[in-house]
Structures are given as C-alpha cells and as structure tokens.
Structure 1
Amino acid sequence: MLAVMGRDDIAYAAGAARPLYGAGRDEAAIHSSDGLGGVVLPAPQRPPEAQDATQFLADTLRAAPSGALTVLALGPLTNLAQLARDEPAAYARIGKIIAMGGTIDELGNAGPYAEFNMACDPMAARLVFAAPVPVTLIPLDVTRKLRASSADLDRLARSGTKAALLAADLIRTYFASHSDRQSRPLHDPCVMLMALSPGLFETQTFRLTIDCETHPGRLEKAHEGALVDVAVSIDPEAALDALWRGLSC
C-alpha cells in the first residue's frame, strides 16, 4: 500500500503472527489467500523495520509527546496487548485507541455471538480494555451500515487519484457476488473516519466484559466490565462522502 502511494518515508513493522492464546482464525474465503481479493500491488520500496511491532510501537511512543499519538486498530488487538504487557510505560503514552471490533446487539460474523477481530484474540482485547488508555470501539452494529454500491465506486474512480482507483478495485472484490447491489460492510474505514470526523458517529460509554472461553470474543454489558466508548450510530451517507473525499485528494 505504501509503495502504491510512493510513501517510502513511512516506517512499518511486522505484527504478531498468532494470538496470545490459541491458533487464530482464517478468512481466506472472504479476502482470498493474499488478503487483497487478488488485487496485485507493487513490491515494497523499503523493508520492514528490524524490530517487531511491539518494540516499534514502544520506540515510536517514547519519541513523541505523551498523549500525542492515537492508535488506529483495524485487526485483532494482539500487538497492543503485548505492548501493554511488555512495555507498560510506553503503552501509557498512547493518547487513545480507536478499534474496529465486537458486536453489541447484532449477530456476529465469527459465529452467532462474536465479531472476527474479538474472536481472533479475546484475551488481547480483555487486556487492552482493562489497560489505562481510553478505547473507542466501533462494532458491527455500526460498520454494517457503511456500504458502497457499484455507482458509488464509479464515482470514486472518476476522481482518478491513486488512492481512489486502488480503493475502488479493492472494494469491488469485496462484493459478495456480481449480482449484489452493495458491497459487504466497509468495516475498517470507520476507524479512520472516527479519528478524522467524530461528528459522523454517536458514541455511548458501556462497561464491557469479553468471553475468552465459552463463546470467544463475545462482548457483554456488565457492572464489573471495563469502561469502553462504543459507537452506536453513524451517518452512512455523510460517512461515505467523507471517505470518498479523503481518497480523492
């Protein structure tokens, strides 16, 4: 992705290969074996950093003013949990975490009770929720409302920017079938939209527990749970317009 955008000035590091506990989950049926639906990207212009993600995050946080950095978490929370466990002083320097994951009132997409990211590593989510950094969670209840039609993708591609053309190609692979009128939910962009335009969302604060055994990844409201800000609604039309504008710059 960085190579497409010509951003060899941005460093990146390899994240955890497996969850804190268990074998993890696979979603090749949706995203294909390459994770990109078969869309071909150029080779990286620079190698990953020598450190793993935990050390890379710790070094980055220590080099920035405390509280200045927001972490946008699009997948399982394993890397952040390892940081909280192994480098607690560096972890405490995070300003806030915005994470895509979980389901509150809707059915899951990794079984009836859980969302994929939470189900992949529920123990990591438990550690992150309990750690001393505020978390805003964007669950399936909200992300399922953000989708794109073929006409939407045509409008995006017409802007002609590298980001818009690549995003349009990637989202087209994300349609469940050629006959579908809309893509599957655009889960991950909700995190960036929350960071840039929080007014697109309504949030509420809940105390949440996460099941790590019976139904791994299941979130429940409970008095003894960790305090988490949870997105409960989105303006989907305004959110899609904001996303398209950002990709068209």
Structure 2
Amino acid sequence: MPDAKPRLIVIDTDPGIDDAIGILLALASPAFSIAGMTTVAGNIGIETTTRNGGRLLAFAGREDIPVVQGGAAPLSRPGPEPLNLHGENGIGGVALPEPVRPPESLPAAAWLAEFLLDQPAGAVDIFALGPLTNIARLFIDNPDAARRIGRIIAMGGVVHEVGNVGPRSEFNLWADPEAAAVVVSSGLPLVLVPLDVTRRVRASREFAQALRVAGKPLASMVADLVESYFETKTHQESRPLHDPCVMLFALAPELFRLEDLHLVVNTGSTEEAGALTVDGNGTPVQVAIGVDGPAVLDLLARTLTAA
C-alpha cells in the first residue's frame, strides 16, 4: 500500500526550546509538508523568535520554507516579560547557523489568508506552539480564509491540573487570553493539547544520550536542546516536552485520549487570565486529556533517528 500523502501544515511558533524540538520533529517526519512558519512573540520577543525560526531551517537545510513574522504583542494588552527558561537566544544557548532567507514581507495573518485562499478548503492544518495571536488576527481580519483551515492543533491551557503561570493558567493562553478566546470560540476545528498531557511526555538525560548515539544531525540537535534544559535545573531528572506533543498527536492520535469539552477562556486581568473553564455554555473543543507517555517518546526518538 503506498504511503499516505504528506499533510500540508503551517507551524505557528515562538521558538523556544520545546518549540525547536517540535519543529525539528516536523522536519524529520515524512508525514508533514511544511508550507511555512509563522512567528509570534511569546517565550521571547518577536525579532528573536523570527530569527530562531530561520536558524532552525538553515540548520536543517530547508531554506525553501518561508518564515513569516507575526504578532509582536498580544491583541489588546501588554506583552509578557520574556522567559528566562529558554536563555538569552530563546533556545538555551544552543548554536545554530544564521538564517539563509529573510522573513517574508507580509505580516503573518495576511500571509496565512493569502495562502489559505490559494489552497483547497480543509487542505492546510496549523500547528500552534505559542500564543494564539496570529490565528486570532487571521480570524478577525479574514474569517473566510480562516474557515478554510483543516484543523488547528494547539499546545495550550490546563484543564484539571495546576497551571504554570497561575493557579489555572498555562503560558500560551495566559500570554494573549483575548486571542485564545477568539480561537476557542470561533468554531474552527481545534484540538487543544494542555499541560495535563504534555507534563507526561518527559525527556531525560538518558533520552538525550540515546538520540546522540544515533549520529543523525536532527536527533543530535534535539539532544543538545534537551540537554540545555538541564543547564540551570541540575537537580531535575526529566523535563516535559510541551510543544512537540502537537506534532506527536498529529502523527499518532491513537496514543492520546481525547474528550469533547465545552470551554470558556478567562480574559480578565487577574492571575486567572487565560484559564480554561469547562462550562455547558462554552464552545465545544476536542481536548487531549490522556497520553501514553513512553510510547510517544519512543515515536519521537524513532522519527528523529530515521531522518
């Protein structure tokens, strides 16, 4: 039986160590055809996230993929302070070449609209690894184009557990809660992969070493990125791989447990900003609630070491 045709995707991202791992995984997998990478401010400022997107593509020899700069700030509030977790360059100080190709001239939402309108309806999926600013802006400015998206798979939110920037808030939704509210309530096909799942996909130093032994460039770079997580966390035995779970879900949805939940996003100004509430009056969203962590890590390793 012939292999299935690769799925056409756009990666919306704020690289970010775990974003970088997810991007390299997508580049390694024959299941995806990456049409472009749109960037957003989040983990660090927009100039750095855009540069990091180009640097990752330069490392992989994929300068054919355009990088498109997007939202430098949330839709309607000041942006968050950059996270120290990812280092000054946003990717843990890991060395990468400079971008070969400059960013596209159009802003991300306009580029997405043009691209989606040029493709068959439903043909393009968006993998969202950062704040949802660009996708919300697309929906606000050009809803007809946005409705041509096949599916959005987004890392974000927390449902049953404690958040990572507030009692019930996860960083990506907290960074631009108005954008999250637009996307969640839009009715666009959305799969949300929250902290409830991503915290159970954890990379150890031993995992990184196993990747390095394979001797493949993409696998070795992911090993470097995983190791960078431990530079300032010397007593931790493992680190969660949040954003790669988007690609892993797309590759093997059977390894995740989905629930249909009706969700509302908190857009207040308190520490509850970005919090998700399950509410019968909310918008129905598919939410990943469970995962086979070891099987997902094995899939990650096999994909990277086969490239």
TM-score, scaled relative to structure 2: 0.79
> What is the deviation of 1:27?
4.0
Does residue 1:199 correspond to 2:254, yes or no?
yes
Does residue 1:117 correspond to 2:148, yes or no?
no
- Whether the 8 Å CA contact 2:116–2:146 is kept in 1: the answer is yes
Percent identity over paired residues: 45
Residue type at the aligned position of 1:141: D
- Whether the 8 Å CA contact 1:4–1:162 is kept in 2: the answer is no
Residue type at the aligned position of 1:142: V
Does residue 1:178 correspond to 2:249, yes or no?
no
- Whether the 8 Å CA contact 2:184–2:265 is kept in 1: the answer is no
Corresponding residue number in structure 2 for 1:241: 298
Question: For 1:48, what is the secondary structure of its paired residue?
Answer: coil
Match of 2:68 among 8, 13, 20: 13
Match of 1:89 among 144, 149, 152: 144
Residue type at the aligned position of 2:290: S
Distance 1:17 1:187 in 2: 22
Corresponding residue number in structure 1 for 2:286: 229
Taking the TM superposition and a 5 Å limit, the aligned residue runs for 1:23-172 are: 23-172=78-227
> What is the deviation of 1:221?
0.5
Question: For 2:69, what is the secondary structure of its paired residue?
Answer: coil
- Whether the 8 Å CA contact 2:259–2:288 is kept in 1: the answer is yes
Two-structure CA RMSD over aligned residues (Å): 1.1
- Whether the 8 Å CA contact 2:205–2:226 is kept in 1: the answer is no
- Count of matched residue positions in the alignment of Structure 1 and Structure 2: 248
Per-residue CA deviations over 1:66-98 (Å, capped at 9, x if unaligned) read 001110000000000000000111101001100
Unaligned runs of 5+ in 2: 1-55
Q: Which runs of 4+ in 1 moved over 2 A?
A: none
TM-score, scaled relative to structure 1: 0.97
